[in-house]
Structure 1
């Protein structure tokens, strides 16, 4: 590339560039201490361009949260597509693992929403993530489970919402709570059937699997 020649990005690419820079800046300085100037520096753009796409820092934070929520939902969809038919106990434990990954992420560039300075942002993330994940589960896991089992709870969406909110709060405030306890809570609240015998559906290999 010739010296001084600038790469021209379309609006969607510039938007993503700024969001990527915000994620990096938040990881370096913390959400509460990051300024628009910090984001502009990391992105290699002017402050004015950041303001063009995100007039307020709250809007930029929301864009970062939306990115995180979308990644979580995609993780749930991938899990749903790869589950083993009829293995409900295994499915419950896998859900517990996914939940821990989101509440206590180990990746250094993930947002540290446990920081008390980020409490308001954390609550926004949890509310959005729970709503999005429950919406995803309703059209994947819940429908698949209902096709093979009787659902023993009423107000399904509301129960799932309360359950996920409660599990997130429990894992966040008591990180040492055993996975077995969390799995037991899920089973009791949702009143799940036991695992199906492995030979109940011989030859099953395609299609969307049931809960498990």
Structure 2
């Protein structure tokens, strides 16, 4: 059992090293040597966990996305019985926080030829969050009696648009994001 937990720990250290290298140098300049040097392991140990750099980078993307999804799950647990305006305000603040907090990683992805990787990251993030979003108790009751169809795809489009809006409008308020969420999701009884 101890060997398995050490293996999980080593894999996690490699993923954290990949994230740090991407932030520091961008994906194109991130090398297996730099990843392994950062945490003091051999290349052969790296290859025990990952077939190549691309697989390790993909694992790093998944780790960042998992953090976002976990934030969303925690939000849902806090707001299942909350009044909808409070839940939407906190969700808007969470989205702003996620976009602003992923700044160093996102910026690292777009360094030196990583634009395609950044687009894949954004797409995977929006897909994962929209898939979980449809299961959230805090909003499910508010949206299930609306005329919305394809709610998961609607949330995906909404997230992609909100991320772009938040990135390009740094001073956007949580109340504006809350209003956009409510209007887009046709939340009933929404009060400004």
What are the equivalent positions in structure 2 for 1:116-155 lying under 5 Å apart? Answer: 116-117=110-111, 118-141=114-137, 142-145=139-142, 150-155=145-150
- Using CA pairs under 8 Å that are at least 6 residues apart, name the structure with larger relative contact order, 1 or 2: 1
| Structure that is richer in helix per residue | 2
Picking from 175, 180, 189, the partner of 1:185 is 180
1:116 and 1:71, CA in 2 relative to 1: closer, same or farther beyond 3 A? closer
The CA deviation at 1:58 is 1.6
What are the equivalent positions in structure 2 for 1:44-59 lying under 5 Å apart? Answer: 44-59=40-55
CA distance in 2, matches of 1:105, 1:64: 16
CA distance in 2, matches of 1:45, 1:114: 23
Structure 2 partner of 1:65: 61
State the TM-score, normalized to the length of structure 1. Answer: 0.76
CA distance in 1, matches of 2:44, 2:80: 51
CA distance in 2, matches of 1:158, 1:173: 23
State the TM-score, normalized to the length of structure 2. Answer: 0.83
- Asked if the contact 2:26/2:108 (under 8 Å) is kept, the reply is no
CA distance in 2, matches of 1:174, 1:82: 28
How many corresponding residue pairs? 186
The CA deviation at 1:195 is 5.5
CA distance in 2, matches of 1:86, 1:152: 23
* Long gaps (5+) in structure 2: none
- Asked if the contact 2:27/2:108 (under 8 Å) is kept, the reply is no
- Which of structure 1's runs of 4+ aligned residues deviate more than 6 A? none
SS at match of 2:73: helix
The CA deviation at 1:80 is 0.3
Alignment RMSD: 2.6
The CA deviation at 1:84 is 6.1
CA distance in 1, matches of 2:39, 2:172: 40
1:178 and 1:195, CA in 2 relative to 1: closer, same or farther beyond 3 A? closer
For residues 38-88 of structure 1, give each alpha carbon's deviation from its aligned partner in whole angstroms, at most 9, with x where no partner exists.
111012111232233223222111101110111111110110000163521
